[in-house]
Chain A
Amino acid sequence: MTADLGHFDVAVIGAGIVGCAVARELAGFELSVAVVEARSDVGDGTSKANTALLHTGFDAKPGTVESRLVARGYELLSAYAERTGIPVERTGALLVAWTPDELAALPRLKEKAELNGYDRCVLVDDAEVYRRVPALGQGALGGLTVPDESVICTWTTNLALATETRLRGGEFLLSATVTGVHSGAHENGPATTLETTRGTVTAGWVVNAAGLGADRIDALFGFDRFTVTPRRGELFVFDKLARQLVDTIVLPVPTALGKGVLISPTIYGNVMLGPTAEDLVDRSDTATTEAGFEFLLSKGERLMPALVREEVTATYAGLRAATDHSDYVIEVDADGRYLLLGGIRSTGLTAGMAIAEYGVQLLRDAGLALTPRPELPEPPRLPNLGEASVRPYQDAERIRRDPAYGRVVCFCERVTEGEIRDAFASPLPPPTLDGLRRRTRALNGRCQGFFCAAHVAELVSTFGLDS
């Protein structure tokens, strides 16, 4: 295809958290910005299916770029969440040791946290562990608290960053997979041409935030510096009625054998158990597996027997972009006018805004002229998907002004017709039913559509998308 999709000062490849955070930052300057995304929606890859934790970075490898950016990202995202309405719940975390080895590792983890600039961890004994999480299975020996670990809505985070990019004039070129890269020139000087499945995009500068595909894009630019190995993580989401069992994140003690399985409240009022860790070849295989289920259930049975007796609301699998490097791979090529933001694994949700800040600084150092725009639009306020603050169905005043917020469509998640309508009227309307789920929670509940799927489908054809 040869359709001309336009020329931009900067093209960002990838509309996940990192790509949208960079695009938003760049769109705050006098620059034209395009986000080129292979999938049909923003936040539809690794950014949609992770453990949704806002990390302090206490367990990062000290001295790494990742360590620095996670800590900085925590501050930036916390502040941004306040401004835009991204739901965050300050649950804190508790690492639980189940073996003498794990117990012995806790003081070292505390020291490591301090090396990472985090000094609020406290060692606690077994009695304190059970006081904090009485539903834990037998055999916990002690723990380490991380009071500032939190849960956050990864979907809203991605959507907020993307929406603000859009409000600042950035363009989204969706369903456009990059298949080729050529260097050339444009009237303003050197330019890179991106061939995509929808047409060609030319840009003065290119940022590679392609997540699982970042190494392949990097190869198109002629580099051979890292390989992404998709690491599948399967998760169980338990019924909201399980939420009373646990109100803090229960973390495993990382050992030589891996990171292990965590139990966490979700921002939507459920409880999550996972993830597994399985290296794959196929970068799109997000199927769940029998082995994964068995592993999680046996782990769950030990960690919190009462949890696995609750109903399972959802199971899913996400792919983390693991690499052969022990740190993020963030490098700028000034001559090629190209920035790589690679190897951003599960910490990318927290670090995203800091990665953007750092990336833009690298671009400036490499010669990209950055003139702040005098008047930027206000950041958007995103609809609240979190259980910790008032949702439309609970808001009598709002229902009085607009009865559509009193018409509950998805009973399990209590999503109203007003919210579904709003999603389709938003700057980045959902292109798919899954996109609607991520914007509203519709269909995500315990009945998985038994009661409301048909009604939701009807509203979807009324308000937008014809599914």
Chain B
Amino acid sequence: MTGLDARLAPDVVIVGGGPSGLTAAAALAARGIDVLVLEREAQAGGIPRHSDHPGFGLRDLRRSLAGPEYARRLVEGASSARAEIRTEATVTGWADERSLEVTSPRGRLNVEARVVVLATGARERPRTARRIPGDRPAGVYTTGQLQSLVHLYHREVGRRAVVVGSELVSWSAVLTLREAGCRTVLMTSEFERPEAYLAFRVPGRTVLRVPVATRSRVTRIVGRERVEAVEVEDLDTRVRRTVECDTVVCTGDWVADHELVRLAGLDYDPGTTGPVVDTAQRTSRRGVFAIGNLLHPVDTADVAALDGRHASAQVVAFLNGGRWPDSGVRLVAGQPFRWVSPGMFRPGDPEPPRGRLSLWINEFHRRPTVVASQAGRVIGERTTAWPAAPGRVFRVPSDLLDHVDAAGGPVTLTIRGSR
């Protein structure tokens, strides 16, 4: 680093001005705490800014808003509570334990805070990270890229799209494509059932008329300059066919934006690809919290926002002389789960956000019985009234863990009767 323009020392610095960061900022600033939000984009608000469809804000604001309007309200909420939001401010690394290096048009900054809250969110794996071979033509996007092209910059995409994945976000991609005049000719899912919510799946299949190829994957992209086709494989028969299209959207398959987590060497969960936190959202480094979809990639924006609200109380407790425990019971995702968040539990700690554990699952269960076991002994189980399905977060009440023994070693979560 060459020179420095300013040093800032707020009580709390929040990295990322999306739903969780802004909600935490608003709640903290409302209590008179000096909060600085660092947002690398020119506008705060995060992913909802370019998700131009309703359904945002149900759980946190108790209404259904379009993404951009929801983002505006969150920014307004944080600003009117007097949190400072710096946009075009990119955190490029750590200078010290709770000290960040920042680049912005206003200069190169150092921000040293009593508390750092990481709220950097998640991104979809692009085609390269999914290791899809073939030509490398134009016309291959992620949903994020597609939506910012269409909604923020009003650019054209193609006419015939294949959507890879059928998570909740995948249907959002279909809507965006339709708005841009591009028909989705096929959606592929590696699972036996399309993953997304019924609310999306039914209109998806009937109103949007999108054929879904289950147990399928895209094995090759064809086209030198522009996409011409993809090769789709049936995972059971291994038969491959060619589907003509000029656009491919790689949706879902989230990975946390964990660069700062890894650079700091915080305890890392290869399942979530985010930091390990406890129910108070404390990471393994004193004074560093993590919230939002960095912890559970990805849940809906409102759930991420409520993480922010939850964390604000924990941050206040810490600023008022709260402790920073260093050991606890690890929560482990057993089959058929891919991950569980939070990853650390201590009897007597605050409840997790919304009193729920978040899990990601590899197979569909209509009425799952979730079993918690410790040292080979079942210590709790809960049957949920809602299904567990791939492609979206599955939530379980955290009282499942009421009988955890603080000295009993890791707790494994599974589903009874899972294959």
Contact = CB atoms under 8 A, between A and B. Distances in A.
B259 A241 contact: yes
B18 to A, nearest CB: 12
Interface stretch (B145-153, B190-198, B349-357): B145-153
A450 B123 contact: yes
Contacts of B11: none
A228 to B, nearest CB: 20
Contacts of B136: 286-288, 316
Contacts of B106: 403, 406
A309 to B, nearest CB: 8
B125 interface: yes
Contacts of A395: 2-3, 108
Interface string A321-353: 000000000000000000000000000000000
Interface stretch (B20-28, B127-135, B278-286): B127-135
Given A403-B105, A408-B90, A448-B128, A453 B133 contact: no
Contact of B142 (A313, A414, A450): A450
Given A406-B103, A406-B107, A448-B142, A396 B134 contact: no
A198 interface: no
Interface string A286-320: 11111011000000000000000101111110000
Interface stretch (A27-35, A202-210, A368-376, A454-462): A454-462
B89 to A, nearest CB: 9
Contacts of B145: 449-451, 453-454
B129 A454 contact: no
B107 A314 contact: no
Interface string B85-109: 0001010100000000001111110
Contact of B108 (A286, A396, A433, A455): A396
Contact of A287 (B1, B133, B259): B133
B103 A449 contact: no
B128 A313 contact: yes
A455 B149 CA distance: 8
A400 B107 contact: yes
Interface residues of A, number: 45
Contacts of A241: 259, 262-263
Contact of A414 (B2, B90, B124, B138): B90
Nearest to B101: A394
B108 A406 contact: yes
A454 B153 contact: yes
A187 interface: no
B142 A449 contact: yes
A451 B234 CA distance: 31
B133 A399 contact: no
Nearest to A390: B2
Interface string B257-294: 00100110000001000000000000000000000000
Interface string B239-272: 0000000000000000100010011000000100
B105 A399 contact: yes
Contacts of A289: 133-134
Given A290-B133, A312-B129, A408-B40, A447 B123 contact: yes
B144 interface: yes
Nearest to B41: A451
Contacts, number: 130
B152 A454 contact: yes
A77 B281 CA distance: 52
Contact of B92 (A240, A393, A400, A447): A393
B228 to A, nearest CB: 12
Given A293-B133, A393-B90, A447-B123, A314 B128 contact: yes
A446 interface: yes
B318 interface: no
Interface string B37-54: 000110000000000000
B126 interface: yes
A130 interface: no
A80 interface: no
A140 to B, nearest CB: 25
Given A404-B105, A446-B129, A454-B145, A396 B123 contact: no
Contact of A315 (B90, B125, B131): B131
A254 to B, nearest CB: 27
B129 A451 contact: no
B5 interface: yes
Interface in B4-19: 4-5
B153 A315 contact: no
B124 A450 contact: yes
Contacts of B124: 450
Contacts of A454: 145, 148-149, 152-153, 155
A411 B90 contact: yes
B220 interface: yes
A407 interface: yes
B153 A457 contact: yes
B107 A399 contact: yes
A312 B92 CA distance: 21
A433 B133 CA distance: 21
A224 interface: no
Interface in B139-182: 141-142, 144-145, 148-149, 152-153, 155
Contacts of A311: 125, 129, 255
Given A313-B129, A446-B129, A287 B149 contact: no
A313 to B, nearest CB: 6
13 contacts: A287-B134, A316-B136, A395-B2, A395-B3, A396-B2, A396-B3, A396-B107, A397-B2, A406-B88, A414-B90, A448-B126, A451-B148, A454-B148
9 closest cross-chain pairs (CB), A and B: A396-B3, A448-B126, A403-B105, A396-B108, A454-B148, A450-B144, A406-B105, A288-B133, A408-B90
Given A395-B2, A406-B106, A406-B108, 5 more contacts: A290-B219, A397-B2, A414-B103, A450-B142, A453-B141
